[in-house]
């Protein structure tokens, strides 16, 4: 029997996601954002989610839509203030969603650390700022650092360009961003890809995420383009 | 005490002039991260005697200018989420690698805007203390880049000094700024205060003192 991580149905790839899950959502703005997987979660109605992402969604599409459906109780991100953000500000201003602000590089490193078995690390980022409050300080070579802990998740929702049945992934340009490290830090990585390749067609030199970090893949050939969707006034559901 | 001449309109350098001064100070073959907004202008003033490599923290090294309308690729964006291009010799990487370039001290210069800069080099540029807090990569850049340049107006819109003894807004980093390029002067942060490197032709040091809160010397 052959290994095959490719799922045919959205309900199948999302079947394990439970109420109260912590989910890492890849993407930087719309580049690399797994919109269809997020819409699948809206259809499924999973609640009380903690979302780890760089941003907090635009318009009422993808992450913006999931937040708008009140399925998210907390967002951990670096930048929750975007020009096209609608749903997060609405709930945040009413005190109906929690926010943990993390510097972008610390966010990336906490995710990378979790995926690499490193429980915490010291960094200069944030020293002397409000984001250092309550964190352990340590001096190395006369310079002050703060302790940051690894950030794990139950699931990673990721968008990639191509995959094979082993879960090997390639990305497209800056749509790579958080996606590879999120695949490493989550118990289960669920990936939507534009194209499925035969393993023999996948160049091992070009694989960015080796299949060991990926549990399930679904083929979404023509994903929604967020900018266009928002311009057209699309809302989901 | 600072004397503020809010109705005394001194025309400082325009933003293009400030950008060209910064461009002149970036050495050949340096790796540079330009903040979103005004600092992006710097790339337009790099002289032909040097090559600068631009880093964008979302995983792009060797960033080029904005694309033509028909060449826009929404998978190729900068940290401000605007479409850009990649130059020959450029590369993509994931976020942890991209921030290792910053946090590991590999970026030679970053140029950022400011709300307040203290005489000891503290920078506040991410939060007014109101609204949704959002920091992005600013804290990583100021903590990790070898040189932190600030590009700013000397005064706030209300006519108050941005160069102060102590920041009142939430800090982005403590003791991180190396040099300030304002419309009134170029100043280094030193142990003795703000050191004037270049003064705007139309401004006296006495006037600069009245619009700066903190020790200034030449």
Residue of B96, B122, B132 with shortest CB distance to A81: B132
- For the record, the structure tokens of B36 come out as 């979103």
Query: What contacts 24+ positions apart, CB below 8 Å, involve B43-52?
Result: B44/B16, B44/B19, B45/B16, B45/B19, B45/B20, B47/B23, B50/B26, B52/B26, B52/B28
Q: Is the pLDDT of residue B10 over 90?
A: no
| Nearest by Cα to B13 from B202, B206, B155, B211 | B202
Residue of A105, A128, A176 with shortest CB distance to B102: A105
**Number of domains comprising chain B:** 1
Domain presence at residue B4: no
Q: Which residue has tokens 């994903």?
A: A223
Cβ burial, residue A140 (10 Å; 0-12/13-18/19+): exposed
State how far residue A18 is from chain B, nearest Cα, in angstroms.
28
Spacing of C-alpha A6 from chain mean position: 20
* % of chain B residues with pLDDT over 70: 96
Pinpoint the alpha helices (H) of chain B.
Answer: 15-25, 95-103, 138-144, 205-210
Predicted pLDDT at A83: 87
| Nearest by Cα to B94 from A101, A104, A64 | A104
CB contact under 8 A, B99 and A175: no
Domain presence at residue B159: yes
CB contact under 8 A, B171 and A129: yes
Q: Which of residues 188-217 of A touch B (CB under 8 A)?
A: 208
Closest residue on chain A to B102 (Cα)? A105
Q: Which of residues 149-188 of A touch B (CB under 8 A)?
A: 171-181
Residues of B in contact with A82 (CB under 8 A): 81
Class in CATH terms, A10-120+151-197+221-227: alpha beta
Question: Mind listing the pLDDT tens digit for each residue in A149-163?
Answer: 999 999 999 999 999
* % of chain A residues with pLDDT over 70: 100
Residue of A78, A79, A172 with shortest CB distance to B75: A172
Residues of B in contact with A111 (CB under 8 A): 96
pLDDT < 50 positions in chain A: none
Contact present, B140 and A106 (Cβ < 8 Å): yes
Question: Mind listing the pLDDT tens digit for each residue in B193-213?
Answer: 999 999 999 999 999 999 999
Q: Is the pLDDT of residue B7 over 60?
A: no
Domain presence at residue B42: yes
Residue of B60, B76, B140 with shortest CB distance to A125: B140
Closest residue on chain B to A85 (Cα)? B132
DSSP single-letter state for residue B134: -
Strands B85-92 and B60-64: antiparallel
CA–CA separation, B101 vs B96, rounded Å? 9
Q: Spell out a b/e string for B69-100, using b for 16 or more CB atoms within 10 Å of the CB, else e.
A: eeeebbbbbbbebebbbbeeeeebbbbbbbbb
Phi, psi of A204 (to 5 degrees): -55, -30
Instruction: Give the mean model confidence (pLDDT) for residues B60-87.
Output: 97
Domain presence at residue B102: yes
Q: Is the peptide bond before A237 cis (omega within 30 degrees of 0)?
A: yes
Q: Cα(first)–Cα(last) distance of chain B, in Å? A: 20
Tell me whether residue B51 is one of the annotated catalytic residues. no
Predicted pLDDT at B1: 34
CB contact under 8 A, B137 and A105: yes
Predicted pLDDT at A130: 97
Q: How confident is the model at residue B8 (pLDDT cuts 50, 70, 90)?
A: low
Report the CATH number that the domain containing residue B104 is assigned in CATH. Answer: 3.40.1080.10
Q: How confident is the model at residue B3 (pLDDT cuts 50, 70, 90)?
A: very low
Instruction: Look up the domain containing B130 and give its range.
Output: 15-217
Q: Which of residues 22-81 of A touch B (CB under 8 A)?
A: 28-32, 54, 78-81
pTM of the model: 0.97
Separation in Å, CA A66 to CA A39, A74, A75, A158, B135: 7, 12, 12, 15, 23
Predicted pLDDT at B9: 62
């Amino acid at each position: 029997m052959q290994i095959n991580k490719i799922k045919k149905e959205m309900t199948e790839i999302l079947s394990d996601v439970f109420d109260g899950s912590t989910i890492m959502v890849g993407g930087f703005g719309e580049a690399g954002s797994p919109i269809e997987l997020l819409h699948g979660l809206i259809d499924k109605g999973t609640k009380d989610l903690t979302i780890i992402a760089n941003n907090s969604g635009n318009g009422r599409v993808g992450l913006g839509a999931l937040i708008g459906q009140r399925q998210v109780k907390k967002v951990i991100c670096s930048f929750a203030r975007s020009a096209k953000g609608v749903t997060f500000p609405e709930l945040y201003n009413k005190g109906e969603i929690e926010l943990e602000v993390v510097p972008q590089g610390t966010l990336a490193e906490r995710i990378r650390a979790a995926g690499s078995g490193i429980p915490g690390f010291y960094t200069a980022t944030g020293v002397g700022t409000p984001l250092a409050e309550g964190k352990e300080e340590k001096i190395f070579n006369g310079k002050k650092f703060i302790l940051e802990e690894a950030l794990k998740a139950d699931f990673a929702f990721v968008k990639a360009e191509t995959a094979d049945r082993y879960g090997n992934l390639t990305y497209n340009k800056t749509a790579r961003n958080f996606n590879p490290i999120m695949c490493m830090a989550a118990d289960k990585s669920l990936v939507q890809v534009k194209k499925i390749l035969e393993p023999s067609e996948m160049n091992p030199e070009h694989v960015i995420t080796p299949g060991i970090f990926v549990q399930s893949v679904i083929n979404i050939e023509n994903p929604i383009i967020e900018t266009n969707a928002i311009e057209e006034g699309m809302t989901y559901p | 005490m600072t004397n503020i001449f809010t109705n005394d309109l001194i025309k400082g350098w325009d933003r293009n002039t400030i950008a060209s001064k910064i461009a002149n100070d970036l050495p050949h073959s340096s790796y540079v991260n330009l903040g979103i907004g005004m600092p992006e202008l710097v790339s337009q003033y790099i002289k032909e005697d040097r090559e600068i490599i631009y880093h964008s923290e979302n995983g792009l090294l060797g960033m080029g200018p904005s694309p033509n309308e028909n060449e826009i690729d929404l998978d190729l964006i900068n940290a401000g989420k605007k479409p850009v291009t990649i130059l020959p010799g450029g590369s993509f990487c994931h976020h942890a690698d991209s921030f290792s370039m910053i946090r590991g001290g590999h970026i030679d210069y970053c140029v950022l805007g400011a709300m307040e800069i203290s005489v000891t080099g503290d920078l506040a540029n991410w939060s007014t203390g109101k609204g949704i807090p959002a920091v992005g990569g600013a804290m990583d850049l100021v903590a990790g880049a070898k040189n932190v340049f600030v590009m700013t107006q000397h005064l706030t819109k209300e006519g108050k000094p941005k160069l102060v003894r102590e920041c009142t807004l939430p800090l982005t980093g403590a003791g991180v700024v190396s040099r300030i390029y304002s419309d009134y002067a170029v100043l280094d942060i030193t142990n003795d205060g703000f050191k004037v490197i270049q003064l705007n032709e139309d401004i006296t040091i006495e006037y600069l003192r009245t619009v700066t809160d903190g020790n200034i010397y030449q």
